Amino acid sequence: MNYPSTLYKFQKFKKYSKGMLETGYIYFSPVEKLDDPLECSISVCNKIIDGNQKEYLKDLMPFILKQLFINGPNRKFKRINIDEIYDEGNLLEERFKLYIKSVDSSIKTEAIEKAIDGIKQITKVIDENPEFQEAFLKLINIRNVVGVYSLTELQNSQLLWDGYANHYEGFCIEYDMCKFIKENPKYEKELIQVKYLNTRDNDPIKIVLKAFCSIVNTKLLNRSNSEFSVNQIIDIIRTKKTDYAYQREWRLTGIPEDTSVLLPIRNIYLGYKVKDKNKQMVLNVAKKNGYGVYQQSINYETTNFEYKKIL
C-alpha cells in the first residue's frame, strides 16, 4: 500500500453538505477551480503552434542529447553546440560522431551509432508515433479532461481549518481509503500524492519525449521489456508551488464534475465555531449512518486543538 489508510477533507457547510455526508459522494472539481492558478498548466512552443517542426526539433536537440547522454550510460557529456551537428532539420551524422568523440573519447563508436539511431527515432516520433499523439493531445486538453478531489494527510492543521473550513465554522471528513481501494481497486492508480516544486517543465512535447528517451537509453544499455506509457505525464497533474506544501495534499482524479464516486466516511470533526443547526444536522446524519462525530475545542494551556467524541 503506497497511500495513507485515512485521508481528510475540510469543508464549509453548504446546501449540498447533508447529501454529501449521507451518501459519501464526492465532486471532481475541474482543475481551473483549484486554488493554484497554475494547476495542470502547460506551455506550448510557438514554433509548434506555427507548424515549424524543424526549427522546434533543433531547439529540442540539447534536451534530447542530455536525455541520451547525461541520463544514459555516458554522463561526461555536458556541453552541446547544436549548430555544429544539426542543420535545417537534419542531424549531421559524421560531424555528430566527431563531436561526441571530442567531448568524451571513451564513448564507443557503437554507442554513438545507437544514439544516432535513437535520435532518428525521436525526430520521427512527433509525427509518426500514435502513442505520442495520444499523450500530446491528453496534455493539451488536460484542463478539460481531468477532475480532482483534493484530500490531505492532516486532520489538525490550523491553516486548513482556517482556510478551508470557514474559519472553524465548518467540518472535516475522515475517509477510510483502505476500504475504498479494496472495494474499488481501479482507483488506486488515480490516487496520487502531490509534489511541491517551484519550477516545472510543462512543455508537453518534452514531457513525452523524456519518457521516449528513457526507452532509447534502455536500448543503449541492452535492457529489455521497456514500454512507452502515457502515464509518464502524471507529474503535470500532481505538482503545485511550494507555497502550498503545508497542505500535504493527495488527489483522487476522475471525470470533471462527476459525483458518482462514493468514499467511505469513518468520522466527522466539527470546528469549535460550528453553528448549532449544522452540528445537529451532522449528528442526525452520523447517527443514521454509523459515523463517529468529534467536537473541536482549544486547550489554551497548550494552545493546541483537542477533540472530544460526541457520538
User: What are the residue boundaries of the structural domains of the chain, listed by start?
Assistant: 6-40+148-194+239-309, 46-141+202-236
Write out the three cell numbers for 38: 497554475
Residues 2, 124: Cα–Cα separation, whole Å: 37
Task: Say how many C-beta atoms besides its own lie within 10 A of residue 309's C-beta.
Answer: 9
Q: Which residues, 6 or more positions from 64, have their beta carbon under 8 angstroms from its beta carbon? A: 119, 122, 209, 213
Can you name the residues that pair with 285 across neighbouring β-strands? none
For the chain, report the end-to-end CA distance as a whole number of angstroms. 30
What pLDDT shows up at residue 48? 41
What pLDDT shows up at residue 231? 47
Can you name the residues that pair with 265 across neighbouring β-strands? 175
Residues 82, 112: Cα–Cα separation, whole Å: 16
Q: Among 9, 24, 35, which Cα is nearest to 244's?
A: 35
What pLDDT shows up at residue 34? 63
Q: Which residues, 6 or more positions from 89, have their beta carbon under 8 angstroms from its beta carbon? A: 53, 54, 55, 57, 58, 123
Residues 164, 144: Cα–Cα separation, whole Å: 24
What pLDDT shows up at residue 69? 57
Per-residue pLDDT tens digits of the chain, which is 311 residues long: 689 999 999 999 999 999 999 999 999 987 766 655 555 444 444 444 444 555 655 666 666 666 555 444 444 445 556 677 777 667 788 887 887 777 667 777 877 787 777 677 666 655 565 555 555 555 555 556 678 899 999 999 999 999 999 999 999 999 999 999 999 998 998 898 988 877 655 554 555 455 545 544 444 434 343 343 444 455 666 777 888 899 999 999 888 889 999 999 999 999 999 999 999 999 999 999 999 999 999 988 888 899 999 99
Write out the three cell numbers for 252: 483522487
Question: CA neighbours within 13 Å on the CB side: how many for 11?
Answer: 24
**CA dist 41 → 14, 31, 139, 152, 270 (Å):** 29, 9, 9, 22, 35
What pLDDT shows up at residue 155? 94
Write out the three cell numbers for 148: 480532482
What pLDDT shows up at residue 80? 57
